[in-house]
Amino acid sequence: MRMPKDAGDALDDEPVPATIEELQPLYRQMLAIRRMEEASAKAYSQGKIGGFLHLIIGQEAVCVGATAALRPDDYVVATYRDHGHAYAKGMTARSMLAELYGKKTGLVKGLGGSMHFFSREHNFLGGHGIVGGHVPIAAGAAFASKYRGDGRVTLCFFGEGASTIGGFAEGLALAGLWKLPVVLICENNQYSMGTPMYRSLAVEDVSMRALAHGMARDRFDGDDVLKVKQRIAIAVERARETNEPTLVEVVTYRFRGHSMSDPGLYRTKEEVEEWKRRDPLGRARSLLVELGAAEADLHALEDDVKAEIADAVGFAESSPVADEYLPYVIKE
């Protein structure tokens, strides 16, 4: 017999107050991320990008909304699905695409590729390929900012699949015990590779884990970029003012396979189509129109994004290939 589960709070999907001024720049960021990822998918299928490429298409509202709640000097720690987070944190499409191409002009000099972005300039602490291993690292960064009293907050992103590995549990335990200024954001996109959530979690509400660690929690629909921004802002303020961590679960969906090599056969077309109706980009755009944004302005914005990404692709293609890696191992 399966025990009745505490389903947590019903998922909040009420709309939040919106203005064009607040929404439009976020829409632009989401669109740029999507176009950049489409461009990288194309380059990947042409063999110009190697290895593994995990796209965030469908989830753009989470990284964009959450990062919009930060100050520029706050920290972000992300997973291998890191392109959107990096762009939202201020890295350029040029530097990111160049990294995917393995070029010297990339974010980490072409040494890491898709999963391993870093930028000291933007306080972006990776790009992590080992699932869950980065959660204690985020707690450590938050410890350091509390120690220094610099008032910064660390955002840590991970998927619901990460919530079953030790690194996650340990990071959570320490953040709760030591009251660290960190916001732990579970981007629940329903699948851990090919495994749906109901086959990997006994309780399908990751935010409930906060209870065991005396930590605040929140859980809501992640396809509304303004809601993400406003709700994460509450957690960020809590961290900044009181050093209280928060575990936030944002419910979303990835439209593509786990990585480029995954055709996603474990889910039905109907399911994917159903979720696509909640596309955060489509949603943001129609809301902008509803709020009175002029079509001409939106077109101009969209053309601008197109040009930005085309320029970034050109930059990546014409940049020199990475040609050194020995100098970055250890240095006395």
Ligand X SMILES: Cc1ncc(C[n+]2csc(CCOP(=O)(O)OP(=O)(O)O)c2C)c(N)n1
**CB half-sphere exposure, 196, CA atoms < 13 A:** 7
| Closest by Cα among 229, 211, 111 to 220 | 229
- Going by the DSSP 8-state scheme, the letter that residue 2 receives in this structure is P
Q: How far is it, in rounded angstroms, from Cα 183 to Cα 67?
A: 11
Q: How far is the CB of 259 from ligand X (least distance, A)?
A: 8
Which of the stretches 10-18, 35-43, 187-195, 298-306 binds another protein when contact is defined by CB under 8 A?
A: 187-195
Interface with another protein (CB under 8 A), residue from 5, 42, 71, 199: 199
- Contact of 160 with 186, CB cutoff 8 Å: yes
Which of the stretches 4-12, 16-24, 191-199, 280-288 binds another protein when contact is defined by CB under 8 A?
A: 191-199
CB atoms within 10 A of CB 117: 29
Residue 193 is a binding residue for another protein (CB under 8 A): yes
Write the single-letter amino acid at 128: H
Q: How far is the CB of 270 from another protein (least distance, A)?
A: 18
Residues 121-140 that bind ligand X (CB under 6 A): 129-131
Residues 266-285 that bind ligand X (CB under 6 A): none
Residue 110 is a binding residue for another protein (CB under 8 A): yes
Residue 189 is a binding residue for ligand X (CB under 6 A): yes
- Contact of 62 with 185, CB cutoff 8 Å: yes
Residue 3 is a binding residue for another protein (CB under 8 A): no
- Contact of 143 with 177, CB cutoff 8 Å: no
Three-class secondary structure of residue 73 per DSSP: coil
Give the number of residues in contact with another protein, rule: CB under 8 A: 35
323 binds, among another protein, ligand X, none (CB under 5 to 8 A by kind): another protein
Q: How far is the CB of 81 from ligand X (least distance, A)?
A: 5
Q: How far is the CB of 189 from ligand X (least distance, A)?
A: 5
Interface with another protein (CB under 8 A), residue from 25, 166, 314, 320: 166
Biggest distance spanned by C-alpha atoms of the chain: 61
Residue 151 is a binding residue for another protein (CB under 8 A): no
Residues 77-96 that bind ligand X (CB under 6 A): 81
Q: How far is it, in rounded angstroms, from Cα 195 to Cα 87?
A: 28
Give the number of residues in contact with ligand X, rule: CB under 6 A: 14
Residues 37-66 that bind another protein (CB under 8 A): 50-52
Task: Report CA-CA distances (Å) from 256 to 193, 261, 267, 276, 309.
Answer: 11, 10, 11, 11, 20
200 binds, among another protein, ligand X, none (CB under 5 to 8 A by kind): another protein
Interface with ligand X (CB under 6 A), residue from 102, 106, 161, 171: 161
Strands 191-192 and 195-196: antiparallel
Residues 6+ apart with CB under 8 A from 77: 125, 126, 128, 134, 137, 138, 141, 154, 155, 156, 157
Residues 296-325 that bind another protein (CB under 8 A): 321-323, 325
Name the β-bridge partners of 309. Answer: none
Q: Residue 70 burial (CB < 10 Å; 0-12/13-18/19+)?
A: buried
Q: How far is the CB of 9 from ligand X (least distance, A)?
A: 21
Task: Report CA-CA distances (Å) from 171 to 138, 191, 214, 302.
Answer: 8, 22, 14, 40
Q: How far is the CB of 75 from another protein (least distance, A)?
A: 21
What residues line the site for ligand X (CB under 6 A)? Answer: 81, 129-131, 158-162, 189, 191-193, 258
Summarize as ranges the residues that interact with another protein (CB under 8 A): 50-52, 102, 110-113, 115-116, 129-133, 161-162, 164-167, 192-195, 199-201, 266, 321-323, 325-326, 329
